[in-house]
């Protein structure tokens, strides 16, 4: 089984690269952002609650996303592997994921961290906002808040995975296929 965490700030290109990686390695894509947006689209109570925070660029509660991931993993018992995209985003989420995977005896092979500077991130997200229809991609203050949430709560996880010997950093600026190649090399190491 091949389990990969795709790590990096908002706008780093995780979604783009995840789509290419799932095709190449036949993995199941678990994006907490996508799952939350499908809850919003379905008009569920959870979606309504999450939307309030997402529109402000604030992380939703650990409990909500951990439960979502737990149930998606159970729904895919025959998976070749999972690619975690946008999860974990806090230390509590990382610890919960480790516990969950330990129980199932399916460890994480690597945490691939895409590195892009804040100015480039803001530019990319605001550009994406013109076509993505995502409210959180269209307002500069929200974009800055998301980057701040990443810096404060998520980026410390690099140290967590480094200590486990699983962190691989990849430059997220360049051609999409070039970055994809670099990610594949890290996976196949």
Give catalytic residues, as residue numbers.
14, 89, 124, 134, 146
Least distance to ligand ADP, CB of residue 136, Å: 6
How many residues make contact with ligand ADP (CB under 6 A)?
18
Query: Which is nearest to 168 in space by CA: 6, 22, 13, 28?
Result: 6
Peptide bond into 90 cis (omega under 30): no
In the complex, which residue's CB is closest to ligand ADP? Answer: 33
Which residues in 129-168 contact ligand ADP (CB under 6 A)?
Answer: 136, 146
Our finding on whether 179 is near ligand ADP (CB under 6 A) is no
Which residue intervals of the chain are DSSP H helices? 14-25, 32-42, 45-54, 62-74, 91-104, 118-132, 140-149, 157-163, 176-188
Cα–Cα distance, 60 to 50 (Å, whole number):
6
- Report d(CA 83, CA 171) in Å as an integer: 19
Can you say whether the dihedral through the CA atoms of 93, 96, 98, 100 is positive or negative? Answer: negative
Q: Which is nearer to ligand ADP, 10 or 172 (CB)?
A: 10
Give the Cα separation of 168 and 115 in Å (integer).
10
- In this chain, which stretch among 83-91, 98-106, 156-164, 170-178 interacts with ligand ADP, using CB under 6 A? 83-91
Residue 34 CA to residue 132 CA, distance in Å, equals 13
Q: What is the DSSP letter of 171?
A: E
Please give the residues from 50 up to 79 whose contact with ligand ADP meets the rule CB under 6 A. Answer: 53-54, 57-60, 65
172 binds ligand ADP (CB under 6 A): no
Task: Please identify, among the stretches 86-94, 106-114, 159-167, 168-176, the one whose residues bind ligand ADP according to the rule CB under 6 A.
Answer: 86-94
Q: Which is nearer to ligand ADP, 82 or 87 (CB)?
A: 87
86 counts as binding ligand ADP under rule CB under 6 A: yes
Binding stretches for ligand ADP (CB under 6 A): 10-11, 32-33, 36, 53-54, 57-60, 65, 86-87, 89, 93, 136, 146
């Amino acid at each position: 089984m091949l389990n990969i965490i795709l790590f990096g700030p908002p706008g780093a290109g995780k979604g783009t690269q995840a789509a290419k990686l799932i095709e190449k390695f036949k993995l199941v894509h678990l994006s907490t952002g996508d799952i939350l947006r499908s809850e919003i689209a379905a008009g569920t109570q959870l979606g309504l609650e999450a939307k309030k925070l997402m529109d402000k660029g604030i992380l939703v509660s650990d409990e909500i996303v951990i439960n979502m991931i737990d149930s998606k993993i159970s729904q895919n018992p025959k998976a070749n592997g999972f690619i975690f995209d946008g999860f974990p985003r806090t230390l509590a989420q990382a610890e919960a994921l480790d516990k969950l995977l330990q129980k199932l005896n399916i460890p994480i092979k690597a945490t691939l961290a895409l590195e892009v500077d804040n100015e480039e991130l803001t530019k990319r997200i605001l550009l994406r906002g013109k076509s993505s229809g995502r409210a959180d991609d269209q307002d500069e203050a929200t974009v800055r808040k998301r980057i701040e949430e990443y810096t404060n709560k998520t980026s410390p996880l690099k140290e967590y995975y480094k200590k486990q010997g699983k962190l691989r950093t990849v430059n997220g600026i360049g051609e999409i296929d070039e970055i994809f190649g670099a990610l594949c090399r890290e996976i196949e190491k």
